[in-house]
Amino acid sequence: MLRHILSRLVRSFLTLMLVMTFAFLVLRLSGDPALILLGPDAPQDAINAFRERWGLNDPIWKQYLAYLVQLLTLEFGVSMRDQVPALDLVLSRIPATLAITLPALLLKVGLGIPAGVYAALHRQSIADRGVITLSILGFTVPSFVLGLLLVLVFAVQLGWLPSGGQEGVEHALLPILTLSVGGIGIMARFARSAMIEVLGQPYIRTAMAKGLSWRSVVWKHALPNAAVPIVTLLGFMIGSLIAGAAVVESIFSWPGVGRLIVTAVANRDLAVVQALLLVIASSMIVANFLVDLAYGLLDPRLRSRRAAH
């Protein structure tokens, strides 16, 4: 198990290195970083100083190493637009994003999994059909359409909720709703198909043949086994907590990471984009890593197989 954790750690680290390399390549391929970062109107002195400062006259591999060292020491440069360290800017926006994505995640889990399990146990019922319909909508209705429709109904027509801003809880309701509706459906469908798959297994029939009550079959045998695929999806959802709100935050003028990405990209504020890239990739990688650990704990088969190897 320890070996497995270590090898996953190394793999995660390699993936992170790849992300960094990607950022480096894109930055170098797109032109002279001095001109991009300082702007086309920068005086020649400043450009020369910048080149000297960041070693842009060195061979490319040296630049790459210097770049890696710079990133590993969490030095991401300064935001061109706001003149504050890029990483600080990104970190300061994370709470706002979590304030809407976390409740949305809780809704997805808290409503999605029970609904999926219920649908699996009561197939062909109205609830089952509802879960399927909602999941189809979750896959096909883009969040910007859903968000705007919600604004149209609840803010414009009914006037119940504000359409944007961040003053209080009521401002967060529509963003949270937009983020969670589709996800609830998708989560429910995963839970449903995982449950159906497990319920079809021979050991469930064995458990029932032993005379166990339906309730204890579901709770003791089916649910723990259905948990593995659900955790996969959950990990993915957790990983995208920070990144998942770019569109929604833009619609509702919510001052989180998502909106920061969009404005940074629109302004070509590259130091910020770079910092965002690494923060988001790190959060995804950490989530993947945790999911892998959770697998080991949830599935004794996996645990022993890995130990045997």
Partner 1 sequence: MSVLLQASGLCQQYTTGKTLFKHPTVVRAVDSIDLEIREGEIAGIVGESGSGKSTLGRMLLGIEPPYRGELTWRGAPMPAPGTPEWRRLRREMQLIFQDPLAALDRRMTIADQIGEPLEIHGLVPREAIRNRVSELMGKVGLRPDQAGRYPHELSGGQRQRVVIARALAMAPKFLVCDEPVSALDVSIQAQVVNLLYDLKLEEGLTMVFISHDLKVVRNLCDRVVVMYLGRIVEEGPADEIFANPRHPYTQALVSSVPSAGRGHAKRILLQGEPPNPASRPSGCAFHPRCHLADAACKAEAPALIRDSHRLAACLKLRAAPNQDQVREIHA
Partner 2 sequence: MTSVEATLESSAKRSLLSRLRLNLPFLIWVSLLWLIAMLLVAVFADQMRPYAITKMDLSARMAAPGTPGHLLGTDDLGRDVLSRLMQSIRVSLVIAFGATLLSAVVGTGLGFLAAQFRGWVEGAVMALADFQAALPFLIMSLAVLAFFGNSMVLLVCLMGFYGWERYARIARGLAISASAQGYAGAVVQLGATPARVYLRHILPNVASTLIVSMTLTFPEIILMESGLSFLGLGVQPPQSSLGNMVGFGREYLTQAPWIMLAPSFVIVMTTLSISLLGDWLRDRLDPTLR
Interface residues with partner 2 (CB under 8 A) are 11, 14-16, 18-19, 22-23, 26-27, 29-30, 36, 123-124, 128-129, 132, 135-136, 139-145, 148-149, 151-152, 156, 189-190, 192-194, 196-197, 229, 232-233, 235-236, 240, 243-244, 246-247, 250-251, 261-262, 264-266, 268-270, 273-274, 276-277, 280-281, 284-285, 288, 291-292
Under rule CB under 8 A, residue 10 binds partner 1: yes
Least separation, in Å, of the C-beta of 181 and partner 2? Answer: 13
Say how many residues touch partner 1, by CB under 8 A. Answer: 5
Query: Binds 10, which of partner 1, partner 2, none (CB < 5 to 8 A, cut-off by type)?
Result: partner 1
CA distances from 244 to 93, 98, 221 (A): 14, 10, 34
Binding letters toward partner 1, positions 270-309, x by CB under 8 A: ---------------------------------------x
Least separation, in Å, of the C-beta of 1 and partner 2? Answer: 18
Query: What is the C-alpha to C-alpha distance for residues 43 and 235, in angstroms, rounded to an integer?
Result: 48
Least separation, in Å, of the C-beta of 11 and partner 1? Answer: 9
Binding letters toward partner 1, positions 182-211, x by CB under 8 A: ------------------------------
Of 7 and 253, the one with the shorter C-beta distance to partner 1 is 7
Query: What is the C-alpha to C-alpha distance for residues 76 and 86, in angstroms, rounded to an integer?
Result: 6
Among the candidate windows 1-9, 52-60, 80-88, 106-114, which touches partner 1 by CB under 8 A? 1-9
Find the binder of partner 1 among 1, 6, 18, 149 (CB under 8 A).
6
Residue 85, beta-bridge partner list: 78
Of 5 and 223, the one with the shorter C-beta distance to partner 1 is 5
Of 82 and 197, the one with the shorter C-beta distance to partner 2 is 197
Find the binder of partner 1 among 7, 21, 92, 125 (CB under 8 A).
7
Determine how many CB atoms are found less than 10 A away from the CB of residue 309: 7
As given in the structure block, the two tokens for residue 172 are 């967060």
Least separation, in Å, of the C-beta of 107 and partner 2? Answer: 20
As given in the structure block, the two tokens for residue 81 are 């637009």
Interface residues toward partner 1, by CB under 8 A: 3, 6-7, 10, 309
